[in-house]
Amino acid sequence: MKTLAVMSRKGGAGKTTVAVNLTLAARVMGVRAVLADADPMRSACEVLKGRDEAASVLFETSAAKLFTLTQACQRGGVELLIIDTPAAPEADVAEAVKVADLCLAVARPTYLDLAAAVMSVAVIQRLGREGLIALNQCPPARNGVEPPAVLKAFEALRFASLPVAPVALRSRVVYQTAFAQARSVMEMDGGGAAAREVQELFGHVWRQLNGEGRAPMRTANDDLGRTHARAGLAMVPTA
Ligand SMILES: Nc1ncnc2c1ncn2[C@@H]1O[C@H](COP(=O)(O)OP(=O)(O)O)[C@@H](O)[C@H]1O
Ligand SMILES: [Mg+2]
């Protein structure tokens, strides 16, 4: 079994959106995936409770119960456990990091979200785990031209040698309308752009989880990397 923790210190970055859509994308692709809602806000539960299979897809949990839940899922033949985490407290998020094979730090392409993602990756690495940053709520490209905020976010993260998923999720209304119907964007509009993004992000995450094409990571105490991170992030405008 592989375990993915979806995290961000910033509320509203899109943890629940990414966690739910990745879980449902995995299931569409035949992976036995379940979602653990470890956020006391219970947003993932709110979205998924209306589904027939909710009881077999969704677990309400807490940081303290994550280890036991992970073992139970493993025994139960789950192939992928995705954990939706709260923005805080850090100790609770750390429990999710500890049981995860990969931690996905979700960030909007803004200065503050990227700064939070950089800190998250440092925590992930301190705990000896693998991290990956996924950009979410990016403005869509227009006529094939990438908006400057997105270009700068990718540039800054790569310049800082931080591992970033090559596919960015865009800001699209379907992410919101899908949740109102307890569905994923793939279920709402399978041929749409959002569905393609989620599918690509899932593919990338799945390959990382299974050790294929893992991006090189810098170490947590890499001072040069930290300097680069600051220099790079200075290029990212707030949006
Ligand atoms: N890619 C996106 N496009 C449009 N709306 C989004 C997107 N990602 C998240 N949202 C919306 O932003 C809000 C916060 O997202 P949520 O997933 O709850 O964030 P978090 O779990 O990090 O607090 C929700 O209303 C959600 O529908
Ligand atoms: Mg949430």
What does the domain layout of the chain look like in residue ranges? 2-233
Q: Name the residue of 17, 39, 113 to mutate for ligand 1: max ligand atoms within 8 A of Cβ.
A: 17
Between 43 and 212, the higher pLDDT residue: 43
Dist. CA 6 → ligand 2 center (Å): 9
d(CA 235, CA 25): 34
Rounded Cα gap, residues 46 and 182, in angstroms: 8
Span 44-59, pLDDT tens digits: 999 999 899 999 999 9
- Ligand 2 centroid–CA 223 distance in Å is 32
For residue 84, give the ligand 1 atom closest to its CA.
21
Q: How confident is the model at residue 227 (pLDDT cuts 50, 70, 90)?
A: very low
Q: Which ligand 1 atom is nearest residue 179's CA?
A: 27
Q: What is the band of 210 on the pLDDT scale with cuts at 50, 70, 90?
A: very high
Task: Give the pocket of ligand 1 (CB within 6 Å).
Answer: 8, 11-17, 43, 136-137, 169, 171-172, 175-176, 179
Residue 159: its pLDDT value, please?
86
Q: What digits encode the pLDDT tens for the residues 129-152?
A: 999 999 999 999 999 899 999 999
Q: Which atom of ligand 1 is nearest to the CA of 19?
A: 17
Give the CA count within 13 Å in the CB-facing half-sphere of 160. 30
Say how many Å lie between the first and final Cα of the chain, rounded. Answer: 38
User: Ligand 2 centroid to 20 CA: how many Å?
Assistant: 10
Which residue is listed with tokens 């407290």? 89
Q: Which residue has the higher pLDDT, 220 or 63?
A: 63
Confirm if 49 and 58 have CB atoms less than 8 A apart.
yes
Q: Does 232 score more than 50 pLDDT?
A: no
Residue nearest to atom 13 of ligand 1 (CA): 12
pLDDT band per the 50, 70, 90 thresholds, residue 215: very low
* Ligand 2 midpoint to CA 87 (Å): 8
pLDDT digits (tens, 9 = 90+) for 19-52: 999 999 999 999 999 999 999 999 999 999 989 9
The CA-based dihedral angle spanning residues 65, 66, 68, 69, taken in that order and rounded to the nearest 10 degrees = 110
Minimal-distance CA residue to ligand 1 atom 10 = 14
Return the minimum-mean-pLDDT range out of 36-50, 160-174, 212-226: 212-226
Q: Which CATH number fits domain 2-233: 3.40.190.10, 3.40.50.300, 3.90.1170.50, 3.30.590.10?
A: 3.40.50.300
Q: What is the per-residue pLDDT across 48-91, written as a single tens digit (0 to 9) for each? A: 998 999 999 999 999 999 999 999 999 999 999 999 999 999 99
Give the β-pairing of 58-60 and 130-135. unpaired
Percent of the chain with pLDDT over 90: 85
CA 85 / ligand 2 centre spacing (Å):
7
